[in-house]
Amino acid sequence: MKIIRYSLLTIAFTLLFLNISLADDPAFENDEQIKIFNNAVIEFNNKNYSAVIEAVNQLMAVNPNVAQSYNLRGNSYFALGKYDSAIADFTKAIEINKGFTEAYRSRAETYRSQQKYDLALNDMNRLIEIEPENSNYYFNRGILFRESNDLAHSFSDLSRSIALNPKNTNALLARADVLYALEDFVQAKLDLDTCIKFNDKSLDAYKLRGMVNYRLKDYDASIADYAQVEKLDSKDASVYYYRGAVYLEQGKYTNALTDLTSAINKGFTADDMIYYNRAVAYYYLDESDKAIADLNIVMKSKQDIYLYDLRASIYYKQKKYNEAIEDFSKVLTANPNNIAAIKNRANCYFNLEKYTEAISDFTKSIVADPNDASLYHNRANCYRALEQYAAAIDDCRKFVEFATGNPEYQSYVEDVQKEIEYLEYKMNEK
């Protein structure tokens, strides 16, 4: 029943570009134009983007042929979220100067923000043609491939970036992220070990390695990684979310509860499945009401079947059989072959003395799992309650057949044999 849910770690990779250059374009006609441009660059660095646009417009009024001017204004439009205007300026800059790398870089980033990955990749391809040994360009293109879910090309470019600069921790982290997506956890861990060797303050590297170690079932190492994140930044709520999931897997429910509650109290909002995980912890700590409350929070926005399955199990533990039946029925509507749900619903019907419904579910369970001795005995109890003694006797005999030699049920065999004698007496009495 225990299903632990956690969202994948989302690492926001920033493309590696240089800052806006000061005036070095030969198209500037005099020192005054250069001065205006350089002052505009200062305004850009101070995030006064409207002032930049105004200054560049003045420059363009007297000299419309400077590629750097279009690039600077385009970056200002980009910063203001005016992507179409930004692209128009970058395109104009490239028309003026076909080898202007700053404009290609800026336009690629703008296309990326619009999720137009094919166009962004075209610009990165051009940059690599111009500077084929630039490690950052391969990193940037690798990130674009990753974001467009082309993992093979992403891995190739990130590997090339690392080959050109073995200490490129951004590329090492990004390649580990790709390897994680490819479920190559051993190689991902090697990249993360190297990344942390060069940068032992990388929160994302420790977080991702914590997840890798989790998938490798090295839970103690995973806990140690999250402890390092906590040491570096105790305000990072996500570390408590991820570590809480590891504690759940270890069956350390009190520790899990502490961490998951800490994440919630610290404002973790990235994934409301944190409430599901905490509900699991509450379930195993026999705090059923709190588990139900957390599940209800999740179920305001999600209707996944495993949520109903867990809530049904909690209702069953609370002897709220009608509520449990309702939730198990929803599970079975989605998956009619969920044998555990059929068995559990059968037990609910039995406890409510709805023997006909219970027999139906026990019969379905027996068809799916004919060697489970307990199912025959449970169905026999239903038949007995309905005074259908012949059917009850047949099921009791089936129980003895499957239970004999089974350590789990051996102690019950003698009692059931006596029960058969009693049922035979009742049948003859009728």
Q: Which two tokens stand for residue 427?
A: 């049948």
Going by C-alpha positions, the residue among 305, 301, 306 that lies closest to residue 269 is: 301
In a domain, residue 318? The reply is no
What does each C-alpha distance from 40 to 31, 229, 243 come to in angstroms? 14, 40, 47
**Domains: count for the chain:** 1
For tokens 């006797």, name the residue: 393
Amino acid at 19: N
Which of 226 and 12 is assigned the larger pLDDT? 226
Average pLDDT (411-426) is: 86
pLDDT for 394-409, tens place per residue? 999 999 999 888 888 8
Quick one: pLDDT at residue 370?
A: 94
- Residue 429 neighbours by CB under 8 Å, 6+ apart: none
pLDDT for 120-175, tens place per residue? 999 999 999 999 999 999 999 999 999 999 999 999 999 999 999 999 999 999 99
- The pLDDT mean for the chain works out to 92
Quick one: pLDDT at residue 28?
A: 87
Average pLDDT (63-75) is: 94
In a domain, residue 47? The reply is no
Quick one: pLDDT at residue 26?
A: 84
In a domain, residue 406? The reply is yes
Quick one: pLDDT at residue 10?
A: 53
CA gyration radius for the chain? Answer: 33
pLDDT for 263-305, tens place per residue? 999 998 878 889 999 999 999 999 999 999 999 999 998 888 9
pLDDT for 348-385, tens place per residue? 999 999 999 999 999 999 999 999 999 999 999 999 99
- pLDDT band of 422, cuts 50, 70, 90: confident
pTM score of the predicted model: 0.80
Going by C-alpha positions, the residue among 131, 127, 175 that lies closest to residue 153 is: 175
For the chain, how many residues are written?
A: 430
Exposed, middle or buried: residue 193 (CB in 10 Å: 0-12, 13-18, 19+)? middle
- pLDDT band of 1, cuts 50, 70, 90: very low
Q: Quick one: three-class SS letters along the chain?
A: CCCCCCCCCCCCCCCCCCCCCCCCCCCCCCHHHHHHHHHHHHHHHCCCHHHHHHHHHHHHHHCCCCHHHHHHHHHHHHHCCCHHHHHHHHHHHHHHCCCCHHHHHHHHHHHHHCCCHHHHHHHHHHHHHHCCCCHHHHHHHHHHHHHCCCHHHHHHHHHHHHHHCCCCHHHHHHHHHHHHHCCCHHHHHHHHHHHHHHCCCCHHHHHHHHHHHHHCCCHHHHHHHHHHHHHHCCCCCHHHHHHHHHHHHHCCHHHHHHHHHHHHHCCCCCCCCHHHHHHHHHHHCCCHHHHHHHHHHHCCCCCCHHHHHHHHHHHHHCCCHHHHHHHHHHHHHHCCCCHHHHHHHHHHHHHCCCHHHHHHHHHHHHHHCCCCHHHHHHHHHHHHHCCCHHHHHHHHHHHHHHHCCCCCCHHHHHHHHHHHHHHHHHHHHC
Question: Does residue 8 have a pLDDT over 90?
Answer: no
Quick one: pLDDT at residue 7?
A: 47
- pLDDT band of 11, cuts 50, 70, 90: low
Question: Does residue 118 have a pLDDT over 50?
Answer: yes
Average pLDDT (339-354) is: 97
For tokens 């994948």, name the residue: 8
Going by C-alpha positions, the residue among 350, 349, 362 that lies closest to residue 398 is: 362
pLDDT for 80-91, tens place per residue? 999 999 999 999
In a domain, residue 383? The reply is yes
Question: Does residue 79 have a pLDDT over 90?
Answer: yes
Quick one: pLDDT at residue 2?
A: 47
In a domain, residue 312? The reply is no
Going by C-alpha positions, the residue among 130, 121, 23 that lies closest to residue 69 is: 23
> Could you list the residue range(s) of the whole structural domain that residue 388 is in?
370-430
What is the C-alpha separation between 98 and 158, in angstroms, rounded? Answer: 26
- Residue 22 neighbours by CB under 8 Å, 6+ apart: 37, 38, 41
Quick one: pLDDT at residue 199?
A: 96
Determine what percent of the chain is predicted with pLDDT higher than 90. Answer: 83
In a domain, residue 415? The reply is yes
- Residue 117 in contact with residue 148, Cβ under 8 Å? yes
In a domain, residue 388? The reply is yes
pLDDT for 299-321, tens place per residue? 998 888 999 999 999 999 999 99
Question: Does residue 5 have a pLDDT over 70?
Answer: no
In a domain, residue 250? The reply is no
Exposed, middle or buried: residue 115 (CB in 10 Å: 0-12, 13-18, 19+)? exposed
Average pLDDT (73-82) is: 95
